[in-house]
């Protein structure tokens, strides 16, 4: 049995877990959902769902992880008493493992596109027009090559382990991401047309607020954005020292995730309206926003292209920002099956990482070859259905299966004063009763509407 990895500091954990949370979901998913779902109205619902549902479930994942000091399959069995709950824990753990591998397989394809577009900005600068055209045109070879390169980056970091790989790279890349994001926001804000984007972003269209699509999209977004349900936060929780106040750490991760999503909105939504100002169509005839892929891969690049050489530099920064956000998330996903296999076999971490990386590339390859059929289906199976349902499973395990006294003593480790907090008084009953009901109601609504 190998020695378990651990984050070397509080900040290391926050950066790694926030790195997992902050990804394409924040920089691409959130702003495009805001733009198509009533602007600030969506932001409001998203914030409410994040605080009322996603944060409590994130805490369940982190606390179960730290208590069990293991992966989700073993952890859910470990906190169960009877054979039925042990079996359900095991099956749910395997379901989570499958889902996280599937998420990683489509995520690597999309992240590969970001790398290809970043490279295209350089080849454009160098006057290599044909190469840029190839890099930005949708094709199976391009999708495969860049998915492969992105997967190599992910495997390269994860095989180094928790503190030397994941923590070190998250700590380097997250500040860089913030700097790039803020610079781009300032730049785009100075362009003509940006003001209208800011208006849409801050003035809510309340007519859309109770629309079921909006609620479900906000729920999915909240779960995806905090990397919930699939064991990522659970395994990261297991690498947190027992001396730390895990409740505060969880809150910090949630705040960073929300903060970056909101910042990304300040970039993408004004950028859309700048593009519109320059004559690019961003709404269909029915008044709906064009789909998110077209927005990121057509509208935004067109906006940059119109600026000449400077545009290429900005475009390089933009797509590198996306790729950085993606890699700090993909390493957290790969860590889930890697940790599971390392903890349940005698194989060395490095070999396991390369092997699982190869399996995920094979799944990505089948998606690339059957793109029309599989890409959308895998995304909805994993993010729309599985993540909320696995969130439900976690809240049931934390609320009903796990012995209450042992949850409470785990929460208290590292912060005995928590006994006087509101969190202590509310959270245990809240995950037990309220979280499952909210998820079930919303899920029912989404499936039967």
Nearer to ligand PFF, 21 or 338 (CB): 21
| Pick from 210, 232, 220: nearest CA to 439 | 220
Contact region with ligand PFF (CB under 6 A), list: 130-138, 303-311, 328-336, 400-408 = 328-336
User: At 334, is the secondary structure helix, strand, or coil?
Assistant: helix
Nearer to ligand PFF, 223 or 423 (CB): 223
204 has which bridge partners? 39
| Pick from 241, 234, 253, 419: nearest CA to 336 | 234
Helix 83-125 to helix 140-158 angle (10° resolution) is 120
Least distance between ligand PFF and beta carbon 331 (Å): 9
**Interface positions, 190-229, toward ligand PFF (CB under 6 A):** 224-225, 227
As a whole number of angstroms, the distance between CA 261 and CA 25 comes to: 8
As a whole number of angstroms, the distance between CA 184 and CA 189 comes to: 8
Nearer to ligand PFF, 107 or 273 (CB): 107
Contact region with ligand PFF (CB under 6 A), list: 40-48, 111-119, 327-335, 363-371 = 327-335
**Helix, strand, coil abundance in the chain, percent, nearest 5:** 80, 0, 15
Farthest-apart Cα atoms in the chain, separation:
67
Least distance between ligand PFF and beta carbon 334 (Å): 10
Residue count at the site for ligand PFF (CB under 6 A)? 16
Contact region with ligand PFF (CB under 6 A), list: 64-72, 128-136, 179-187, 326-334 = 326-334
Selected from 12, 19, 23, 265, the binder of ligand PFF by CB under 6 A is 23
As a whole number of angstroms, the distance between CA 166 and CA 328 comes to: 8
Selected from 17, 18, 21, 102, the binder of ligand PFF by CB under 6 A is 21
* Phi/psi-derived region of residue 347, left when phi > 0, alpha when psi is between -120 and 50, beta in every other case: beta
Residue 209 is given by DSSP the state T
Nearer to ligand PFF, 107 or 423 (CB): 107
Burial code (b: 16+ CB inside 10 Å, e: under 16) for 7-45 equals bbebebbbbbbbbbbbbbbbbbbbbbbbbbbbbbbbbeb
Nearer to ligand PFF, 23 or 112 (CB): 23
> Per-residue x/- marks for ligand PFF, 226-265, CB under 6 A?
-x--x-x---------------------------------
| Pick from 166, 209, 127, 210: nearest CA to 338 | 166
Least distance between ligand PFF and beta carbon 17 (Å): 10
Selected from 50, 74, 320, 329, the binder of ligand PFF by CB under 6 A is 329
As a whole number of angstroms, the distance between CA 164 and CA 7 comes to: 9
Contact region with ligand PFF (CB under 6 A), list: 24-32, 150-158, 264-272, 439-447 = 24-32
Residue 162 binds ligand PFF (CB under 6 A): no
Residue 170 binds ligand PFF (CB under 6 A): no
Nearer to ligand PFF, 266 or 411 (CB): 266
**Interface positions, 333-352, toward ligand PFF (CB under 6 A):** 333
Residue 100 binds ligand PFF (CB under 6 A): yes
Is 394 within 8 Å of 229 (Cβ atoms)? yes
Is 349 within 8 Å of 2 (Cβ atoms)? yes
Selected from 5, 14, 18, 20, the binder of ligand PFF by CB under 6 A is 20
Least distance between ligand PFF and beta carbon 332 (Å): 5
Selected from 24, 62, 174, 439, the binder of ligand PFF by CB under 6 A is 24
Least distance between ligand PFF and beta carbon 217 (Å): 14
Neighbours of 265 (CB within 10 A): 28
Nearer to ligand PFF, 245 or 329 (CB): 329
156 has which bridge partners? none
Interface positions with ligand PFF (CB under 6 A) = 20-21, 23-26, 100, 103, 224-225, 227, 230, 232, 329, 332-333
């Amino acid at each position: 049995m190998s020695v378990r990895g651990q984050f070397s500091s509080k900040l290391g954990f926050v950066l790694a877990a926030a790195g997992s949370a902050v990804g394409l979901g924040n920089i691409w998913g959130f702003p495009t959902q805001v733009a198509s779902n009533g602007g600030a109205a969506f932001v409001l619902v998203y914030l409410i769902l994040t605080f009322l549902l996603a944060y409590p479930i994130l805490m369940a994942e982190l606390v179960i992880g730290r208590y069990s000091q293991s992966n989700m399959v073993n952890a859910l069995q470990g906190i169960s008493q009877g054979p039925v709950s042990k079996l359900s824990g095991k099956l749910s753990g395997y379901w989570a493992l499958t889902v996280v591998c599937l998420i990683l397989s489509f995520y690597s394809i999309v992240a590969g596109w970001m790398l290809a577009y970043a490279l295209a900005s350089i080849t454009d600068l160098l006057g290599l027009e044909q190469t840029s055209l190839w890099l930005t045109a949708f094709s199976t070879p391009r999708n495969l090559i860049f998915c492969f390169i992105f997967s190599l980056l992910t495997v390269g970091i994860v095989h180094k382990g928790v503190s030397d790989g994941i923590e070190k790279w998250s700590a380097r890349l997250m500040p860089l991401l913030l700097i790039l994001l803020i610079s781009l926001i300032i730049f785009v804000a100075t362009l003509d047309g940006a003001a209208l984007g800011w208006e849409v972003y801050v003035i809510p269209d309340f007519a859309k607020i109770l629309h079921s699509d909006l609620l479900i999209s906000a729920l999915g977004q909240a779960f995806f954005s905090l990397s919930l349900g699939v064991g990522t936060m659970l395994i990261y929780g297991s690498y947190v020292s027992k001396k730390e106040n895990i409740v505060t750490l969880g809150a910090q991760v949630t705040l960073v995730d929300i903060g970056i999503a909101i910042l990304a909105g300040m970039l993408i939504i004004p950028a859309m309206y700048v593009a519109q100002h320059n004559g690019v169509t961003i709404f269909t005839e029915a008044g709906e926003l064009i789909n998110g892929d077209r927005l990121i891969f057509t509208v935004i690049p067109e906006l940059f292209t119109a600026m000449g050489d400077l545009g290429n530099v900005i475009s390089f920064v933009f797509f590198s920002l996306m790729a950085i956000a993606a890699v700090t998330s993909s390493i957290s996903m790969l860590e889930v099956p890697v940790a599971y296999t390392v903890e349940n076999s005698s194989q060395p971490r490095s070999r396991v990482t390369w092997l699982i990386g190869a399996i995920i590339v094979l799944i990505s390859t089948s998606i690339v070859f059957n793109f029309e059929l599989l890409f959308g289906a895998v995304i909805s199976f994993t993010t729309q259905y599985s993540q909320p349902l696995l969130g439900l499973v976690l809240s049931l395990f934390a609320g009903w299966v796990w012995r209450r006294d042992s949850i409470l003593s785990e929460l208290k480790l590292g912060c005995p004063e928590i006994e006087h907090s509101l969190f202590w008084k509310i959270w245990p009953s809240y995950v037990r009763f309220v979280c499952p009901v909210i998820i079930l109601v919303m899920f029912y609504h989404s499936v039967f509407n």
